Amino acid sequence: MITCIRCGQQNPDGSKYCQSCKAALPKISESVSAAAPERINVHYNQLKEVGDKILSGAITDEEFAGTIDRIYEVIQARLNDLENLQIAPEVIPKVEEELQLGLAGIQYFLQGIEEMKLFLQDRNQEHITLGMESVFQGNENLNNALEMARDNIRKLKDMGIESEIDTRDIPG
């Protein structure tokens, strides 16, 4: 059922106008509960796991370096994609905040990985801790940017404007 926001009348799903007051109805029915937004944590979790493993001696330096280098390459590629994204001038003001937040998140990720790499030079565990703090901040920024992107994509579609931004490509 769809509840009319003007008069409170219950209308059948799929109705476009209220049966009582003829007001336009919202597009979402009451039976649809707002699901918690999907968070992307894959790269964060991989870095946390590899950091824990190197500290416990469960993996070799080479395995540690290989894993964080692969993640770094993926994140760097996403940064390049984002920096080269072609956005229509009229759309830029609508997505600028999320893009800046996303770029900052990627930078935090990359800085965190660079910090973690320093562990191999002096075995100071603080590098893993500080690196993961930066990666965590990056992941938070990216998930916030992702939520903003989802909202903006919905708004742009409602306006009839297509966007090249694919929220599945946001690292995290």
Q: pLDDT tens digit string along 55-88? A: 999 999 999 999 999 999 999 999 998 888 887 7
Task: Tell me, yes or no, whether 28 and 69 share the same domain.
Answer: no
Separation of alpha carbons 40 and 43, rounded Å: 8
pLDDT digits (tens, 9 = 90+) for 105-157: 999 999 999 999 999 999 999 999 999 999 999 999 999 988 887 876 776 56
Q: H/E element holding 2?
A: strand 2-3
Task: Tell me, yes or no, whether 16 and 58 share the same domain.
Answer: no
pLDDT at 19 over 50: yes
Mean pLDDT of 3-21: 81
pLDDT of residue 20: 86
Strands (E), 45-124: none
Task: Tell me, yes or no, whether 73 and 12 share the same domain.
Answer: no
Task: Tell me, yes or no, whether 59 and 139 share the same domain.
Answer: yes
pLDDT of residue 12: 87
Closest among 133, 120, 134 to 69, alpha carbons compared: 120
pLDDT of residue 166: 46
pLDDT of residue 82: 84
Which of the pair, 27 or 164, is modelled with greater confidence?
A: 27
pLDDT at 34 over 60: no
Task: Tell me, yes or no, whether 30 and 99 share the same domain.
Answer: no
Task: Tell me, yes or no, whether 86 and 154 share the same domain.
Answer: yes
Separation of alpha carbons 58 and 65, rounded Å: 14
Tell me 76's DSSP state: H
Separation of alpha carbons 87 and 82, rounded Å: 10
pLDDT of residue 32: 46
Q: Which domain holds residue 20?
A: 1-34
Mean pLDDT of 79-101: 84
Task: Tell me, yes or no, whether 56 and 30 share the same domain.
Answer: no
Task: Tell me, yes or no, whether 22 and 46 share the same domain.
Answer: no
Task: Tell me, yes or no, whether 22 and 65 share the same domain.
Answer: no
Task: Please tell me the total count of domains within the chain.
Answer: 2
